[in-house]
Structure 1
Amino acid sequence: MSARATMAVLGFAGFVSGTSIRVAEPLLPKLADEFARKPAAAAVVITAFALAYGLFQLVHGPIGDRFGKLRTVSVALFLAGAASFACASASSLEALSVYRFLAGMTSGAVIPLAFAYIGDHYPFDQRQAVLGRFIGGILLGGVLGPLLGGGISDWIGWRYVFVITGFAFLLASLLLGMASRGETGVKPSGGVIATYLTLLTTSVVRAMCAFVLLEAFLYHGAFAFVGVYMRDAFDFSLTTIGLCLAGVGVGGFLYSLTVGQLVRHLGQARMVLVAGVVLAMLFGGLAAFALPAFMAPTLILLGYSFAMLHNTMQTFATEMAPGARGAGVALFAFSLFFGQAVGVHLAGQVIESNGYIPVFVIAAVGLVLLALRFSAWIRRRQLVWN
């Protein structure tokens, strides 16, 4: 299969993975009602998926290095399809959480191993644009995820959301199996634990993992409850919530179309600064004066600015461990999803006792401070690498 066709298949796999990541967000009100729980308790389906998605990156990375990145993703997505069908049959919130954990455990192979594959095949000065185009597929999935979750749940029931996702996983698995023919892996010189211990002795690896953990903790912890916030504050329907949340994916997709120009005109350090300021303004606006008519454009801008920050982190993550790229990117991804899981859990606790405003304020302040620190770090690293 040609390089262009392989990237198209990876893009589709990223699209399906992106759908699965975000499909449960607008379902929280429906799940809370069906299983007689509070929305914060129903958010366990997000936490379970995110925790598994991140934790098992540490397994997928070395396996991808050893047996081939595309082949590993193909097998993982077949298993993710089976887990999604199980979600559709869940009879309790606890069962659904277990099945979402299994779906996250397997579908988590896609993004880090695709990033590592791109890192293996494209030089650093071209990589952010290639990664940006690849995440366009992920972010289109992010658009479809809330639409599936909100729209289909309103129309025919939330269980069909997972049926459709399951079939999409199986198709992606088949296509990647075809793309992986002839792929070979590299036998590691040491064990998995030794590989990760070696990576953690590297200052660049530690810094990038800390940056992305804090980013995920702040951003995803607040964002996971934006859908419930819209229902409580504006009495939006699930379909409307899904459409608004899809704006984040639209914003990220628009970023994927303009990433090349942004890198050329702003440079990576200034991109991060601009993203941090805009994110702070948007979360601060949600805390201070959110209006129903402005939710859709706010979320589009939120998606665009978050993509500016996060894609820059992803680009540097692909270069932090060239000798064990799959394991290095897996450690980065583990940090991201661990931060997301903890952030969603703690944000839910704060919201139950103090409401939404403190969570949005913490996200606003924390993200701009993180952007300032990361931008300074980029400038220092560019001096070293150049």
Structure 2
Amino acid sequence: MEPDPPEAGGRGTLALYLGTVAAYADMYLTQPILPLLSREFGVGPARAGFTVSAVVLAIAAASSFYGPLSDVLGRKRVMVGATVLRSAATLACAFAPSFGMLVGLRAVQGALVPGMTAVVVAYAGDRYRPRELGSVVAGIIAASVVGGLVGRVLGGWIAAHAGWRSAFVAFSFSSLLAAFTLARGLAPVPVSEHRGWGAAYRGMLAHLAHPPLLGAFLVGASLFFGWIGLFTFLPYHLSAPPYLLSTELVSSIYLVYLAGVFIAPVVGRLSGRFPIQRLLAIGLVVEALGMVAALARPLPVVVAGLVVLVLGTFTAQAVAPAFVNTTARTAKGSASALYLTFYYLGGTLGSVLPGLAWQAWGWPGVVACCVASTGVGLLANALLCGRR
């Protein structure tokens, strides 16, 4: 049966975008303030990075749960409930008495993030016609860019002026507002597959035997490995000589994310005219070129390299989730969840391994580690995504 048309007035589309913004803002909140956390709790860069890796690891572990859950219970119910609970977890982070408690609460946040992010594309696939899906998914990806930008820039600004705990309080209320918008704006989509948990998980695992889907999963892992690795340890690079930038200035560097807001809708429209495999390859190559440019010493060249990196990453990321949704024949919620599981497993490794490279070889080690991840994505795309 063909999906219903989009919600009247675009309220539902706007709700999807706002829910996505809030989820990604919570996810990246601690990235620009890692040096502040290092000073307050007396921990080194690699350990401070646990406030990022704990979120990413929890997302990777929990994503595979939300796909089958949304297939069984319905997408809207899962997205609204998880967003409300994440608001409470975000508020609790503001009152963490120790670094260990903060890391634990960040993991709770992470376990609730995919209640939104792992389900939103599947909801769009249920609700919009195929000719509309590419643009809607590209808009969701653009919203994820805005969320990452808000978390880093606004979170860093609040932390610089009112302390890092105030940033968590502010973002807790933004998540609560997003939950209200989802509850009011989304139309319930009837559960189309009346299946139990066992059947739902069997449907999810069957996707791993489908080469194009497996290739897309590996592309997602490589994309996020390089992305989170570079941007997690960027504050240490820019706050050290010769730059010596303040927390507020480091946070402003993340404005390069705006390039992703513009490129994602453009690529969404191009996806109907060019093969997805070609767009994925172009995105990965451009991402790697941006990483290499970030090795330059002049700050303007570093920033330009980051812009190129963002353009490449979101060229690939704007089409990969829609590719997964249209390639999966059944259990689309589970397919989207598996993509995010791989995506965030890559991010988990990307928030740890480049940290070890930083301690051994500094910024060049971080960049080399992240560039290598794009090579994995290119191989997966070439060898698997085109197979039928």
TM-score, normalization: structure 1?
0.91
Q: Give the deviation of 1:373 after TM superposition.
A: 4.7
TM-superposed deviation, 1:76: 0.3
Distance in 2 of aligned mates of 1:5 and 1:58: 28
Match for residue 236 of structure 1? 245
| Residue aligning to 2:4 | none
More divergent stretch after superposition (307-316 vs 120-129): 120-129
For residues 240 and 295 of structure 1, do their structure 2 counterparts lie closer, same or farther at Cα, with a shift above 3 Å needed? farther
- Contiguous gaps of at least 5 residues in structure 1: none
| Whole-Å separation in 2 of the counterparts to 1:181 and 1:242 | 37
- Look up the equivalent residue of 1:86 and give its one-letter code: A
Partner of 2:111: 105
In structure 2, the residue matched to 1:59 is: 65
Deviation at 1:115, TM superposition (A): 0.5
1:286: Cα distance to partner?
Answer: 2.0
Separation in 2, partners of 1:361, 1:9: 39
CA RMSD of aligned residues (A): 2.2
Contact 1:58–1:327 under 8 Å retained in 2: yes
Aligned partner of 1:311 among 295, 302, 318:
318
Aligned to 2:290: 282
Question: Which runs of 5 or more residues in structure 2 are unaligned?
Answer: 1-6
1:83-139: CA deviation from partner (whole Å, max 9, x where unpaired): 000000011111111111111111221122110111223344543322111222221
Amino acid at match of 1:315: A
Secondary structure of the residue that 1:187 maps to in structure 2? coil
Letter of the structure 1 residue corresponding to residue 369 of structure 2: I
Matches within 5 A, 1:122-161: 122-161=128-167
49-58 vs 80-89, which deviates more?
49-58
Which deviates further from its counterpart, 196-205 or 336-345?
A: 196-205
Q: Note the C-alpha offset of 1:275.
A: 2.1
* Corresponding residue of 2:221: 213
Is 2:218–2:380's contact at 8 Å kept on the other side of the alignment? no
Matched, 1:330 2:337: yes
Q: What does 1:17-56 correspond to in 2, within 5 Å?
A: 17-56=23-62
Which amino acid is 1:235 matched to?
L
**Aligned mate of 2:353, from 335, 346, 350:** 346
Structure 1 residue 182, shift from structure 2 partner: 4.5
Letter in 2 for 1:105: A
- 1:271 CA drift (Å): 2.5
CA distance in 2, matches of 1:177, 1:300: 35
Secondary structure in 1 aligned to 2:330?
A: helix
Which residue number in structure 2 is paired with residue 253 of structure 1? 261
1:268 and 2:276 equivalent?
yes
Alignment identity in percent?
23
The amino acid that maps onto 1:196 is M
Report Cα offsets for 1:177-214 as digits up to 9, x if no partner. 22356443242255144333333333333322222223
Residues of 2 paired with 1:375 and 1:100: CA distance?
36
Instruction: Map Cα deviations across residues 267-302 of structure 1 (whole Å, 9 max, x no partner).
Output: 433323332232222211223x23222333332322
Which residue number in structure 2 is paired with residue 184 of structure 1?
Answer: 190
- How far apart are 1:147 and its partner, in Å? 1.1
Structure 2 residue identity aligned to 1:243: S
AA aligned to 1:242 is S
Contact persistence 2:264–2:315 (CA under 8 A): no
Partners of 1:71 and 1:183 within 8 A in 2: no
CA–CA distance in 1 between the matches of 2:282 and 2:212? 23
Question: Whole-Å Cα distance in 1 between the matches of residues 181 and 269 of structure 2?
Answer: 31
Tell me whether 326-335 or 118-127 shows the greater mean CA deviation.
118-127
Task: Give the Å deviation of 1:318.
Answer: 1.2
Residue 16 of structure 1 aligns with an amino acid whose one-letter code is A
Query: SS in structure 1 opposite 2:302?
Result: helix
AA at the equivalent of 1:364? V
Closer, same or farther: CA 255–326 of 1 in aligned 2, 3 Å:
same
Larger relative helix fraction: 1
- Separation (CA, whole Å) in 2 of partners of 1:311 and 1:70: 23
Amino acid at match of 2:250: I
Q: Which amino acid aligns with 2:83?
A: L
Equivalent residue pairs, number: 379
Counterpart-to-counterpart distance in 1, 2:381 and 2:132: 21
Cα distance between partner residues in 2 of 1:338 and 1:3: 37
- What does the per-residue CA deviation read over 1:139-195, in whole Å, with 9 as the maximum and x for residues that have no partner? 111221111222111111001111111001111111212235644324225514433
Provide the secondary structure at the position in 2 that maps to 1:6. Answer: helix
